[in-house]
């Protein structure tokens, strides 16, 4: 019996090649996309789970960032019994590391407390993870790092020179940190004996540059803990910052996906929003593929009424027929499933590039997934097989034998409803994608308040505090015809502004925390920033160095300055000085457009300027950079100059967004493709079912265009209805997503219309081929078919 | 074998009620060959379907092999049907996706015969129908006469007590029609009861009785006599 079922199933699939191809290929594509997205989501959700103590590790955060003064952690640990252990990490952007005359500029070089390897589960290749960082001036490196510096030598006991100044002995080699760790370092320098390196900064409460992690006792109360933290820390800051920020704990497992509010995190983290979006898209695409399949299967089943009738006459029971159809459906699904695995395997490298992740096919093989797939296959088989199995086999055998048309008499038709659902999904996706693309376009082209083109920047380890040396470099650079302007500052656009100082306007007592950017004189000229009020710093006025300050418009508001701000004086604590406001700039978007422009003040302080800014004239990028590097190295032989174009750096701010949008774009395209395929298949069956009607109409004198209109009218109606349902859904989703950005596009209603129009166009062009074919057919042939 | 008592069949659509059969009382004995005649729409096929347990009457009694089956459920009718009744249709009704062998094998599958039993029984009837050389062909590859022989083979493969034939010669030329009729006669001679609906007075003559229907009524029953409308 089973063999007979298989035979019939196989021959039917072979006979209806278009149907089979669309069903199997569409399902396989849908399943493959779903599997890839599952891999992605699994990976995203797995961050930091490898840590044995993950459940008890928390990061201390403030509303906008996770950086604290190093002393805070000690104070809390000494007073709160809930704290089992703490780790402070001071992440440095880059550092020059030297060994045996080999010198590299390493990115992401952190200092960390020795407890880091006790708290987090990083594996060691050699050395003792318990004690590796206990002694001052020790360091642990990764295998990759070890190979880079020491090749095949044993790294243990080797001495690395850090920043040209301090010698650190390698005491351990760890395996490369897993990709799904929220921090990934190749070298960790000990904080043991840190005062020898940082001196009194270690007890400076204004030096808020440390990430703080706690391992807490099980069963502690989060809210009580946070309250205690505040009570302990508040006294330090209260006199000095009335808007004392709230402290909260963030679970280690939440860091990767729930840190959208945290600025300047150690790695750009992802957001749970995107994980949810991609989960939803995965499910929707699978739904589209299933709808296709169910639609085609039911449409195809009506062509098998004769078979059902004969089998019933001969004595097949309804259960037997139901079993046959459900089984057939399962077979198709299973074939599609196998093909989807091949698709996944083939597309994994491309998907990895798109997501910037290292994913493994084997990660799909989990008990949960296997059970999920089985439930899906059996469930969909039942749903898809349900219609022919129960509805058709319920029909009277005589009716089915006579090929009685079972076109639904009611206006409500399950199949068109499904097409409607499908188009609702597709339209919502198209609209969302359109908005996403306009938003990224907006991010890239928004006027930021400065010139981002032809500006090169390079960060050095030290600062440009030696004015003579710096001026000599500047003069040498300006001699080059390609160089238009030179300056330096503590921050350039694309850097997060993490230096905060307190400003007290004249006549006020309360200080206000303002982001500070310390600059050399030509800073504004080099970046093309113009004042909206007053003037910029002048090379001619020596008093500007100690006495002038420039604010952005937000800072003027934040300080609640009355009247014309120009000429008013403010007290500043970094450097301690009394300054006169000489100019106001517009709100320059220094950071990504996710956040509002902070209140910012600019002042001259050479000792904080570590970033060289060179505005060049259009020329060959590589030769320009080489030339600049040669000149700079002449003056600063101990530094490594790596120049980057400012516009590239700004674009990098949105790199992960761009990847996300790109992926979103591909997924939208795939969803359109799969549903078009389904629609094409469905049209094929529907037109077939209407050949007699078309024939009669033509005999009675209907023109081809009129028949065409008749045939596509239904589809058009459903797409239009789908639009009406899809728009509010897309509106809600897009609106919610746009809230993530402080600066975003407006809700352009025409984008919804465009989305709907695209969907309609796709639907019509898909259906038209079949419709034209049907409308042009010779009525004699179609009537003969009856 | 079959007895009907005041058999009535109504078809109800949204607005119209049609009486297809009205007070039909007939009795068919084991071993008979009964022809049913009548103009289009007189209820011949409806009667055949009810006799064949494909449909339930609206009213009246239907006795089949000592069972009163008029109120039987679909499942009960299917059970009784597959063991006792074979069908032959005007349009052959073979399954296009199955070969000759597989089409004929189908009733045996639903009756739960073993593979070897099925094979020998199918081969036997195909020999009998002289269609063995086409055993692996698909229906579309056969002529109409050949298709009908396959259909007859399928009807008799489970050795049913009753064969119901709904215009078995309707789609065939006279030569093929004659062939099919002689097949049916042969089966009847071997003891199978046959009830056949036909438009052709000539083929009706093959029966030992002709039941004539008009507007859902039995008008006359003739035993081995010619009847003219």
pLDDT tens digits along A91-102: 988 888 999 888
Identify the residue with better confidence: A245 or B34: B34
- CB-CB under 8 Å, A312 with B97: no
Residue listed under structure tokens 């699994």: A42
Mind telling me how many Å the CA of B225 is from chain A's nearest CA? 32
Q: Which residues of B touch A7 (CB under 8 A)?
A: 97-98, 102
Q: Would you call A311 and B97 a contact, using CB atoms and an 8 Å cutoff?
A: no
Nearest CA in chain B to A16: B97
| Contact at CB, A397 and B54, closer than 8 angstroms | yes
Contact yes or no for B63/B24 (Cβ under 8 A): no
A397: which residues sit within 8 A by CB, 6+ positions away?
A308, A309, A312, A313, B54
Q: What is the DSSP letter of A68?
A: B
Average pLDDT, chain A: 87
Task: For A324-373, write each residue's pLDDT tens digit.
Answer: 888 888 888 999 999 999 999 999 999 998 888 889 888 888 899 999 99
Q: Which of B45, B108, B55 is nearest to B77 (CA)?
A: B55
Query: Of A7, A8, A315, which is closest to B78 when you measure between CB atoms?
Result: A315
Residue with tokens 């490898």: A50
Instruction: Give me A466's structure tokens.
Output: 């030696």
Q: How confident is the model at residue B185 (pLDDT cuts 50, 70, 90)?
A: very high
Report the pLDDT value the prediction gives residue B229, as an integer from 0 to 100: 34
* Strand locations in A413-461 (E): 455-459
Residue B112: CB partners within 8 Å, gap ≥ 6? none
CA-based nearest residue in chain A for residue B74: A317
**pLDDT tens column, A210-230:** 999 999 999 889 999 999 988
> How high is the pLDDT of residue A411?
46
Contact between A190 and A133 under an 8 Å Cβ cutoff? The reply is yes
Helix (H) or strand (E) holding B203: helix B201-204
- Asked whether the ipTM of the predicted complex exceeds the cut of 0.90, the reply is no
- In whole angstroms, how large is the CA radius of gyration of chain A? 34
- The b-or-e profile of A336-362 (16+ CB within 10 A means b, else e) is bbebbeebbeeebeebbebbeeebeee
For the ranges A85-89, A268-272, B180-184, the one whose mean pLDDT is highest: A85-89
How does A174-208 read in b/e, with b if 16+ C-beta sit within 10 Å? Answer: bebbbebbbbebbbbbbbbebeebbeebbeeeebb
pLDDT of residue A782: 66
Render pLDDT for B65-83 as a digit per residue (tens, 0 to 9).
888 998 888 888 888 888 8
Tell if the CB–CB gap between A315 and B111 is shorter than 8 Å.
Answer: yes
Q: Nearest residue of A to residue B96 by CA position? A: A307
Confidence of residue A239 (pLDDT cuts 50, 70, 90): low
pLDDT surpassing 60 at residue A779: yes
Q: What Å distances lie between residue A490 and A258, A313, A591, CA to CA?
A: 29, 88, 14
A309 touches chain B (CB under 8 A): yes
> Of the ranges A19-23, A182-186, B12-16, which one carries the lowest mean pLDDT score?
B12-16
Contact A157, A128 (CB under 8 A): no
When mean pLDDT is compared across A578-582, B122-126, B166-170, the lowest value belongs to B166-170
Among A478-492, A534-548, A694-708, the range scoring the smallest mean pLDDT is A694-708
Cα Rg of chain B (Å, integer): 17
Q: What pLDDT was estimated at residue B227? A: 39
Chain B residues whose beta carbon lies within 8 Å of the beta carbon of residue A8: 95, 97-98
A251 shares contact with chain B (CB less than 8 Å): no
Looking at residue A409, its pLDDT comes to 45
The 8-class DSSP code of residue A1 comes to -
Q: Count CB-CB contacts under 10 A for residue A686.
A: 22
Contact between A349 and A41 (Cβ < 8 Å): no
Predicted confidence at residue A241, as pLDDT, reads: 60
Closest chain B CA to residue A400: B93
Q: Is the pLDDT of residue B112 over 90?
A: no
Residue A591 pLDDT > 90:
no
Q: How far apart are alpha carbons A193 and A202 in whole angstroms? A: 10
pLDDT tens per residue across span A305-320: 888 888 888 888 778 8
Q: What is the mean pLDDT of residues B116-140?
A: 92
Residue in A313, A324, A395, A399 to test binding to B, most B beta-carbons within 10 Å: A313
Indicate if the pLDDT at residue B18 is higher than 60.
yes
Output the pLDDT for position A261. 79
The model's confidence at residue A698, banded by pLDDT at 50, 70 and 90, is confident
CA distance A23 to A339: 12
Query: In whole angstroms, what is the distance from residue B93 CA to residue A593 CA?
Result: 71
The nearest CA of chain B is from the CA of A415 a distance in Å of 24
Identify the pLDDT of residue B228: 38
Please tell me the distance from the alpha carbon of residue B163 to that of residue B152, in angstroms, as a whole number.
9
Q: How confident is the model at residue A412 (pLDDT cuts 50, 70, 90)?
A: low
* Contact criterion met (CB below 8 Å) for A687 and A773: yes
Is residue A625 within a helix (H) or strand (E), and if so which, with residue range? Answer: helix A621-635
What single-letter DSSP state applies at residue A244?
P
Residues A426 and A672: beta-carbon distance below 8 Å: yes
Q: Which of A314, A318, A321 to mutate to test the interface with B (most CBs of B within 10 A)?
A: A314
Residue B107 to residue A398, Cβ atoms within 8 A: no
With beta carbons less than 8 A apart as the criterion, state whether B2 and B163 touch.
Answer: no
- Please tell me which of A321-330, A515-524, A680-689 the model is most confident about, judged by mean pLDDT: A515-524
Q: What is the tens place of the pLDDT at every residue in A610-660? A: 999 999 999 888 999 999 999 999 999 888 899 999 999 888 888 777 888
- Using 50, 70 and 90 to split pLDDT, how confident is the model at A408? very low
Residue A570: predicted pLDDT: 94
- Say if A313 is an interface residue toward chain B (CB within 8 Å): yes
Residue A783 has pLDDT above 70, yes or no: no
Of the residues A315, A393, A395, the best mutation for testing chain B's interface (the one with the most B CB atoms within 10 Å of its CB) is A315
Question: Would an 8 Å CB–CB cutoff place A312 in contact with chain B?
Answer: yes
Output the DSSP codes for A580-627. Answer: EEEEEE-----S-TTSPPPPEEEEE-GGG--EEEEEE-S--HHHHHHH
Chain A residues touching B11 at Cβ < 8 A: none
Whole-number pLDDT of residue A35: 94
**pLDDT surpasses 60 at B226:** no
Burial class (CB in 10 A: 0-12, 13-18, 19+), A418: buried
* Contact yes or no for A209/A219 (Cβ under 8 A): no
With CA atoms as reference, report the closest residue to A585 among A548, A538, A549, A532. Answer: A532
């Amino acid at each position: 019996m089973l063999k007979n079922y298989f035979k019939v199933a196989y021959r039917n699939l072979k006979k209806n090649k278009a149907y089979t191809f669309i069903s199997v290929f569409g399902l396989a594509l849908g399943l493959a996309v779903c599997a890839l997205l599952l891999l992605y989501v699994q990976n995203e959700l797995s961050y930091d789970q490898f840590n044995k103590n993950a459940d008890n590790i928390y990061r201390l955060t403030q509303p906008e960032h996770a950086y604290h003064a190093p002393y805070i952690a000690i104070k809390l640990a000494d007073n709160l019994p809930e704290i089992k252990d703490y780790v402070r990490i001071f992440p440095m952007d880059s550092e020059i590391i030297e060994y045996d005359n080999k010198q590299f500029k390493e990115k992401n070089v952190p200092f960390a407390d020795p407890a880091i390897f006790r708290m987090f589960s990083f594996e060691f290749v050699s050395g003792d993870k318990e004690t590796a960082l206990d002694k001052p001036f020790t360091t642990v490196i990764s295998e990759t790092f070890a190979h880079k510096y020491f090749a095949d030598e044993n790294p243990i006991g080797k001495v690395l020179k850090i920043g040209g100044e301090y010698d650190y002995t390698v005491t351990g080699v760890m395996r490369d940190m897993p990709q799904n760790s929220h921090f990934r370092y190749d070298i960790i320098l000990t904080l043991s004996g840190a005062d020898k390196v940082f001196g009194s900064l270690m007890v400076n409460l204004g030096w808020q540059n440390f990430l703080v992690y706690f391992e807490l006792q099980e069963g502690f109360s989060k809210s009580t803990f946070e309250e205690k933290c505040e009570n302990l820390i508040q006294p330090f800051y209260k006199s000095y910052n009335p808007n004392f920020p709230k402290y909260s704990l963030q679970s280690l497992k939440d860091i990767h996906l729930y840190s959208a509010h945290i600025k300047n995190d150690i790695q750009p983290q992802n957001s749970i929003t995107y994980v949810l979006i991609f989960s939803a898209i995965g499910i929707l695409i699978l739904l589209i593929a299933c709808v296709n399949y169910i639609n085609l299967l039911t449409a195809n089943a009506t062509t098998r009424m004769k078979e059902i009738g004969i089998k019933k006459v001969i004595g097949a029971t309804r259960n037997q027929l139901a079993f046959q159809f459900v089984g057939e459906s399962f077979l198709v699904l299973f074939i599609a499933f196998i093909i989807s695995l091949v698709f996944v395997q083939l597309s994994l490298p491309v998907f990895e590039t798109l997501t910037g992740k290292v994913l493994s096919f084997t990660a799909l093989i989990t008990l949960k997934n296997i059970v999920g797939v089985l439930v899906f296959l059996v469930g969909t088989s039942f749903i898809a097989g349900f219609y022919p199995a129960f509805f058709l086999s319920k029909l009277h055998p005589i009716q089915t034998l006579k090929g009685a048309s079972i076109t639904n008499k009611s206006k409500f038709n399950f199949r068109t409803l499904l097409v409607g659902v499908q188009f609702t999904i597709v339209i919502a996706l198209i609209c969302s994608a359109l908005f996403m693309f306009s938003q990224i376009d907006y991010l890239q082209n928004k006027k930021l308040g400065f010139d981002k083109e032809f500006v090169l920047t390079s960060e050095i380890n030290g600062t440009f505090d030696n004015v003579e040396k710096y001026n000599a470099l500047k003069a040498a650079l300006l001699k080059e015809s390609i160089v238009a302007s030179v300056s330096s500052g503590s921050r350039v656009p694309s850097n997060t502004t993490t230096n905060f100082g307190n400003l007290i306007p004249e006549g006020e007592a309360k200080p206000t925390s303002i982001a500070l950017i310390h600059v050399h004189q030509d800073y504004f000229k080099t970046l093309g920033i113009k004042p909206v009020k007053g003037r910029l710093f002048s090379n001619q006025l020596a008093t500007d160095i100690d006495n002038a300050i420039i604010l952005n418009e937000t800072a003027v508001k934040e300080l609640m300055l009355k009247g014309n701000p120009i000429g008013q004086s403010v007290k500043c604590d970094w450097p301690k000085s009394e300054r006169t406001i000489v100019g106001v700039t517009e709100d320059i978007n220094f950071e990504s457009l996710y956040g509002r422009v902070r209140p910012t003040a600019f002042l001259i302080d050479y000792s904080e300027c570590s970033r060289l800014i060179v505005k060049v004239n259009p020329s060959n990028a590589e030769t320009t950079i080489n030339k600049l590097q040669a000149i700079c190295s002449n003056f600063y032989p101990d530094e490594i100059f790596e120049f980057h174009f400012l516009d590239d750096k700004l674009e990098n701010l949105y790199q992960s967004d761009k990847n996300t949008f790109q992926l979103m774009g591909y997924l939208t395209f795939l969803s359109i493709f799969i549903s078009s395929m389904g629609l094409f298949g469905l049209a094929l069956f529907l037109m077939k079912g209407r050949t007699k009607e078309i024939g009669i109409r033509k005999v009675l004198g209907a023109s081809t265009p009129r028949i065409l209109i008749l045939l596509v009218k239904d589809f058009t109606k459903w797409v239009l209805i789908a639009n009406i349902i899809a728009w509010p859904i897309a509106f809600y989703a897009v609106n919610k997503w746009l809230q993530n950005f402080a600066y975003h596009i407006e809700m352009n209603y025409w984008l919804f219309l465009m989305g709907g129009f695209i969907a309609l166009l796709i639907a019509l062009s898909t259906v038209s081929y079949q419709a034209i074919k049907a409308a042009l057919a010779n009525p004699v042939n179609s009537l003969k078919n009856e | 074998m079959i007895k009907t008592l005041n058999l009535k069949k109504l078809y109800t659509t949204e607005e119209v009620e049609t009486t297809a059969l009205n007070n039909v009382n007939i009795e068919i004995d084991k071993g008979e060959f009964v022809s049913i005649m009548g103009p289009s729409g007189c209820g011949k096929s409806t009667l055949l379907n009810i006799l064949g347990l494909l449909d339930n009457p609206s009213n009246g009694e239907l006795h089949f092999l000592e069972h009163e089956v008029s109120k039987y459920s679909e499942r009960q009718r299917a059970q009784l049907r597959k063991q006792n009744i074979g069908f032959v249709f005007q349009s052959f009704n073979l399954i296009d996706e199955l070969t000759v062998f597989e089409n004929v094998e189908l009733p045996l599958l639903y009756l739960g015969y073993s593979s070897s039993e099925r094979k020998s029984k199918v081969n036997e009837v195909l020999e009998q129908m002289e269609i063995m050389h086409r055993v692996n062909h698909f229906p579309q590859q056969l002529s109409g006469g050949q298709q009908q022989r396959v259909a007859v083979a399928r009807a008799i493969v489970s050795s049913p007590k009753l064969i119901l034939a709904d215009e078995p010669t309707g789609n065939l030329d006279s030569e093929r029609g004659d062939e099919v009729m002689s097949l049916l006669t042969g089966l009847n001679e071997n003891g199978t009861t046959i009830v056949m609906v036909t438009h052709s007075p000539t083929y009706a003559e093959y029966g030992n009785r002709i039941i004539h229907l008009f507007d859902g009524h039995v008008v006359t029953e003739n035993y081995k006599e010619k009847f003219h409308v």
